[in-house]
Amino acid sequence: MLSYVAIKQETALWKQQESAKKRNCLFIEKLPRSVDAVLLMHVNGISHLVYTNYQDLLYKQLPSREKLSHEIENSAGIAMGHHSNYIRDLTAIDNMIYSCSYDNTVKSWELTNTGFIHQRIYNLRKSDNLHSWLCGLCHISSCPESNLFATGSSCGTIYVCDSRSRNNPIRHYRPHTKFVNSLAMNTEYILSASVNDDTMSVWDQRAGRTMESITVNSRV
Q: In the chain, what percentage of residues exceed pLDDT 90?
A: 52
Secondary structure (3-state) at 63: coil
**pLDDT score for 135:** 79
Nearest to 138 by CA among 83, 217, 81: 83
Look at residue 200 and tell me if it is in a domain. Answer: yes
**100 is in which domain, residue-wise?**
86-215
**20 inside domain:** no
CA distance 18 to 107: 42
Residue 220 — very low, low, confident or very high, per pLDDT cuts 50/70/90?
very low
| Domain-located, residue 175 | yes
Task: Find, among 93, 106, 168, the residue nearest to 139 by Cα.
Answer: 106
CATH code of the domain containing 97: 2.130.10.10
Query: Does residue 138 register a pLDDT over 50?
Result: yes
Q: Is residue 33 part of a domain?
A: no
Residue 16 forms part of a structural domain: no
Q: How many domains would you assign to the chain?
A: 1
Structural domain includes residue 13: no
In a domain, 18, yes or no: no
Tell me what the mean pLDDT of segment 99-118 comes to.
Answer: 92
**Residue in 22, 70, 66, 62 with CA at minimum distance from that of residue 38:** 62
In this structure, the number of other CB atoms found within 10 A of the CB of residue 220 comes to 4
191 found inside a domain: yes
The tens digit of pLDDT for each residue in 42-80 reads 988 889 999 999 999 999 988 876 555 454 455 567 776
Q: Decide: helix, strand or coil at residue 14.
A: helix
